[in-house]
Structure 1
């Protein structure tokens, strides 16, 4: 499976909350870093930390950029988040960039950047 397809498959499995299968695409000790420098050791830990932020979230995966990394292949997924806030109101169009490093057909790093915190703050001006 080529690098962009592997990342797309991983993201789909994460969206579907098939975390066991998604986790099989991660190398042992993979580095997962979310906005604010939050690091996660496992996908279930990541999913648990996201509870309360939204009911559900998915990605319009608009494009992939693939290149060489010093020790593997780099894949960047660019697009927009959509989903539902905890109060049931839908959201769409929140920018994201996920940067992955793959080595030997597995994800060794995932760095997530998005404007979700800005969207949350704009819903509650007291923040």
Structure 2
């Protein structure tokens, strides 16, 4: 898989996740992927990850500012950097929260997804209407 194909696959995956088309997003992942979110939270599937996020926010989306691709042995690795924006569980909007996602692709599908962001540190999830 070349760099452009890897970027396209990851962007398609992220857009499907934003639209909560979990079946289509999962079809882009290998069986038994490794999924790690902030705080070291590990999930066995995208369904499990979405269930774990319920109650944290009403919705959340990403801006894509930069994608970098490199090789790590047999894996093609795509780093996605940008900011998060959305509405927290109290109905308060937030924006400009930094994130980095790392995706490892092996022979096509995503085998590992790691997510880092400043959402908890920003206090955005706990803000109450002003």
TM-score bracket, normalised by the shorter chain, equals: over 0.9
Tell me, what secondary structure is at the counterpart of 1:22?
A: helix
Is the counterpart of residue 51 in structure 1 residue 86 in structure 2? no
Q: Structure 2 residue aligned with 1:19, among 22, 37, 61?
A: 22
Is the counterpart of residue 115 in structure 1 residue 118 in structure 2? yes
CA distance in 2, matches of 1:42, 1:66: 24
Is the counterpart of residue 71 in structure 1 residue 74 in structure 2? yes
Unaligned runs of 5+ in 1: none
CA distance in 1, matches of 2:115, 2:126: 22
CA distance in 1, matches of 2:66, 2:118: 18
TM-score (norm 2): 0.91
8 A contact 2:88–2:126 mirrored in 1: no
Q: Which residue number in structure 2 is paired with residue 40 of structure 1?
A: 43
CA distance change for structure 1 residues 122 and 5 in 2, over 3 Å: closer, same or farther? closer
Q: Which residue number in structure 1 is paired with residue 102 of structure 2?
A: 99
Tell me, what secondary structure is at the counterpart of 1:55?
A: strand
Tell me, what secondary structure is at the counterpart of 1:80?
A: strand
CA distance change for structure 1 residues 12 and 122 in 2, over 3 Å: closer, same or farther? closer
Is the counterpart of residue 84 in structure 1 residue 77 in structure 2? no
Q: How many residues align?
A: 124
Unaligned runs of 5+ in 2: none
TM-score (norm 1): 0.93
CA distance in 1, matches of 2:32, 2:88: 31
Q: Which residue number in structure 2 is paired with residue 62 of structure 1?
A: 65
CA distance change for structure 1 residues 122 and 21 in 2, over 3 Å: closer, same or farther? closer
CA distance in 1, matches of 2:71, 2:56: 34
